[in-house]
Structure 1
Amino acid sequence: MATAIKICGISSPDALDAAIAARADFAGFVFFPPSPRHIDARAAAALAGRAGAAIGRVGLFVDADDGTIAEAVRAGRLDAVQLHGNETPQRVAQVKERFRLPVWKALPVANAEDVASADRYREIADLILFDAKTPKDAALPGGMGLRFDWSLVAPYRGEIGWGLAGGLSPANVAEAISRTGAPLVDTSSGVESAAGVKDSDKISAFCKAVRAA
Structure 2
Amino acid sequence: MSDPVLTKAIKDAAIEMNADFIGIADPSCFLNPDYLGNRPQEIMPGLRSVIVLGVGIPRGAFEPLPKGRAEYTNTLMAATATLRVIAFQIARMIEKQGYRATIVPPEGSEFGYWYADRETLKASVSIKYAGYCAGLGNFGMNHLLITEGFGPRVRMTALLTDAPLEADENGSMPFIHEHCRSCLKCIDICPVGAISPDGKIGRHKCAEYMFNALGGLRCGLCINVCPL
TMscore range, shorter length: under 0.3
More relative contact order in 1 or in 2 (CA 8 Å, sep 6+)?
2
- Which is higher, the Rg of structure 1 or of structure 2? 2
Q: What TM-score, normalized to structure 1?
A: 0.27
Whichever structure has more strand as a proportion of its residues is: 1
